[in-house]
Every structure is written in structure tokens, then in C-alpha cells.
Amino acid sequence: MPHNDEPPVSLRIFGKQSRFLREQRGMTRRELAALVPYSESLIAMVERGERPPKPGYVDAVDAALDAGGVLRVLIPDVAEKHHPAWAEEYVNLQAQALALHSYSTHLLHGLLQTESYARAVFRSLRPSLEDEEIENSVQARLTTQNLLLRKPSCRMTFVLEELTLLRKIGGQAIWEEELRKLLKISQLHNVQLQIMPVSRETHAGLDGPLTLLETPAHHTIGYVEGQRGSYFLTDPDDVSVLSHRYGTIRSQAHDAEASRAFIQRLLTGEASA
């Protein structure tokens, strides 16, 4: 089940409608930008369906184009979501999961991130996000962390590449705060956290990160993220491969106790970072 980064239909329809109205009036994007408190580049992204327009934008453009409310009536359909369209389904499945098993290769799983670490991650994205988009994304990510303490508990295992702990995203203070959070999470009765050492000479996770979710109906679904989209894997053969691979990854990683000890040594400076 591939998920690409194509804009949602509602945003594409709104973009085409607003572009049609603008061109019908013989107006360029630059001329429209001079009439509204929004940049020419933002107008272009909205017209391509790449950026959800905020109600203030819709009101301003509707008035500037003398659209008579044609654009305003679409506000409920183009309201900004907390997550990208391709991620919304995964977030919903994760919130309901009976079990979650994740292998991370280049940054910490969103469920494990502090607010400051998450903000640093979103600030690192390119193309850059607007400040408001960053804050909305951070708060949405923190909301997903309710799963850690949900009742009934979700059974969780995380395998983190050692490099995800050595990379000081956001700087020294944010990194130390994140390590302390990992230690706290690792003590939860429903969570097991393991570190995959860089010294491994054989490694079952070379194909990249993966997540396995057990649904309320006791079906296991695989989930794999890429640069511009994601995949759900539901075919039993595919899920079986990922499950076997994840089991091997866990067996190759440090156990939970050794992993906590490693994080502690990073905090105290006894291990190099």
C-alpha cells in the first residue's frame, strides 16, 4: 500500500479554483501578493496544492479576487491538518495499536522525543518550515506520546542505532535532556529500549528503519518511511519477513539493561559522543 507525497485532492481543488479566479481577472501572483498580507511564493504553493491555506489567507484572497465567498465556503475542506496527509493514517493506527515495535536508524522515534528535540528536528527539515508550522508539528508529535501511558497499555519495543544517540541534534543541552528522557521511558513497564552498537560486524537492519504495529483485531502491519512518502505492508509474506528481520535486529542489539547503562555513560561522559 504505497503512500506518496501528492497533495490531498481538497487542496488541489482549492488551488486550481483560486488560480482560475486570479487568472480570470488578469492578475499575476505578484499583483495578488500586493493586495494581501501573503508572499508570492506562498500564493504559488497554495495554488499548487502544496500548502494548506489558513482561514485568514482564504478570506484575504477571496476579497482581493472579488470571489463573493466562492473560496470561503471551502475553508472546512482545506483546514490545516496536524500531520501530512500521507502520515495521518499511520498516526491513527499507532494511537490504537496493541503493540508497536520500531527500529530507528538516523533519529529517535517521535514517541521518544522531548519537545526541544522535536523542535530541532523540524527546524532541520529542508525545504524549511514556517515557525507556525514547526510549532504545530511539535505539538502534534507530543500528542502522539500519550500512547506511552495509555490504558490499556501498548506493548512497545524500540531498537535505536547507536548513532541516533551520538548525534547531538539541537545542541548539548537538548541532547542531555533527551538522554534523560530515554532513561525515564526505558523504565516504563510496557517499554523495552535497546541500542544497536556501531561495532556490529553482521547487521540485519541494513535495509533501513521499520515499524510493526499490532491492531486491535490482532493483525500485524508493517510500516516503512522514505524520503517522500511511506508504505504500509499488509501481505502476510511481507509482514513475516519484517517480523523475522526485526527479531534478528533485537537479538543483535544490546539488551535493555546494557542499553540503559550505555545511555547513562553518555550522560556522565564515560562513553564518547
**pTM of the predicted model, to two decimals?**
0.71
Give the pLDDT confidence of 143-157 residue by residue, as tens digits. Answer: 999 999 999 999 999
Q: Which of 90, 130, 133 is nearest to 110 (CA)?
A: 90
Residue 4 vs residue 29, higher pLDDT: 29
Whether 3 has a pLDDT exceeding 70, the answer reads: no
Residue/partner pairs of 264-271 with CB below 8 Å, 24 or more apart: 264/183, 266/165, 266/166, 266/179, 267/176, 267/179, 267/180, 267/183
Whether 57 has a pLDDT exceeding 80, the answer reads: yes
Question: What average pLDDT does range 38-59 have in this prediction?
Answer: 89
Whether 84 has a pLDDT exceeding 60, the answer reads: no
Predicted pLDDT of residue 184: 97
Residue 179 DSSP SS3: helix
Lowest mean pLDDT of 47-51, 180-184, 218-222, name the range. Answer: 47-51
Predicted pLDDT of residue 11: 84
Whether 80 has a pLDDT exceeding 60, the answer reads: no
> Can 2-78 and 85-268 be said to share one CATH topology?
no
Residue 126 DSSP SS3: coil
Superfamily of domain 2-78: lambda repressor-like DNA-binding domains (1.10.260.40)
Looking at domain 85-268, does it have CATH number 3.30.870? yes
Q: Which of 30, 45, 246 is nearest to 133 (CA)?
A: 45
Whether 82 has a pLDDT exceeding 60, the answer reads: no
Domain ranges of the chain: 2-78, 85-268
Burial of 199 (0-12, 13-18, 19+ CB in 10 A): exposed
Whether 195 has a pLDDT exceeding 90, the answer reads: yes
